[in-house]
Amino acid sequence: MKILFGVQGTGNGHISRSRELVTRLRDSGHEVEVIISGRKEEELKEIEVFSPYRVLKGLTLVTYRGKMNYIETMFQLDLGRLMSDVFTLDVNGVDLVITDFEPVTAMAARIKNIPSMGFGHQYAFCYHVPMARGNVFERYTLLNFAPAQYNAGLHWHHFNEPVFPPVIPQSLYDAGNVKPKENKVLVYLPFEEVEDVSRLLVPFDNHEFYIYGKVRDDRDDGHLRYRGYSREGFLRDLQESTGVVCNAGFELPGEALHLGKKLLVRPLDGQIEQESNALAVEELSLGMTMHSLDGDVLKDWLLKPDRSPMGFSKTVNYIAEWITKGQWDDLPEYVEAAWADCLIDS
């Protein structure tokens, strides 16, 4: 099957899970071409696995100090360029478009009448899962930013809906051999300024914090360990940590839950997906939330006991099989099998 695969490049979570599915589909014999949009090519890290790929402008969300900036988001929108990319996208011979919340491929599939499949956490919101109230614009954007005919939605729980477990990087299935280091905490708050994160963490000098996000170079300052981007280093620090402090995205919390790390999430203000994820964390008792960089909440969380690993299944295997069989209305069968293969009954 010839597949055009769209990846939203604004978040590392999209790249991480798409990397797993693209690899699995190619191993299954499919011809997969990748489109990445939403970030400049020079800002994208470790995407060689997607080759051959192309980078388009797409749409980018602008944030500042933990909040969505919708005005700047609208100013940077180049609607003419977006529509030009949609209409000129070569889809000759394409049998299926898969979009991980990538708008150019999703819109091209709809306009050119090609079967399309949404892959990722955002597509879980097509079903009855916890969702923050938000406003009309936020809800519309979440559900219509990159729509598809069929949906392989992902979530930390099935909610009795046809949504798959999270996609976990292959390397983390072997993490049982890595012993966590007492009082080591991974911190990934890319929407916050580093100085704000540092002020939050300085008082808790009985813990070692490994800080990723807007950090350029590795450096240590007492119990604060700043780390520049490194996928290998990040996954190693995740495996060695006892807890994770992060924004309320989807992939990293899912990886933390898979490994049994206690979780503290800070949702991006004005971003309905993250606010919904924080709601789900609370409803499912998966961790704690803070709606600002709150030292009191962090103090309480650090005293929490460790969690048991949830041990999610190898979700991409079930999704790839579902795609390959071509019986896309049989989604519930594959979802049920994926959840049955998890370590903890969800």
The domain locations on the chain are 2-168+313-340, 170-302
Output the pTM of the full model: 0.91
| Architecture of the domain made up of 170-302 | 3-Layer(aba) Sandwich (3.40)
Question: Which H/E stretch holds residue 288?
Answer: strand 288-289
Question: Which H/E stretch holds residue 103?
Answer: helix 103-111
**Contact between 272 and 142 (Cβ < 8 Å):** yes
Check for a shared fold between 2-168+313-340 and 170-302. Answer: yes
The per-residue pLDDT for range 266-297, each reduced to its tens digit, is 998 888 999 999 999 999 999 999 999 999 99
What confidence score (pLDDT) does residue 171 get?
Answer: 86
What confidence score (pLDDT) does residue 72 get?
Answer: 59
Residue type, 305: P
pLDDT of 64 > 70? The answer is: no
**Contact between 154 and 166 (Cβ < 8 Å):** yes
Strand partners, 187: 211, 245
Q: For the chain, first and last CA: distance in Å?
A: 33
The per-residue pLDDT for range 318-343, each reduced to its tens digit, is 999 999 999 999 999 999 999 999 97
d(CA 312, CA 324): 22
pLDDT band (50, 70, 90) for residue 254? very high
pLDDT band (50, 70, 90) for residue 39? confident
pLDDT of 105 > 90? The answer is: yes
* Cα 71 to Cα 67, 80, 139, distances in angstroms: 12, 18, 17
pLDDT of 47 > 60? The answer is: yes
Token pair for 312: 């999610």
CATH code for the domain defined by 2-168+313-340:
3.40.50.2000
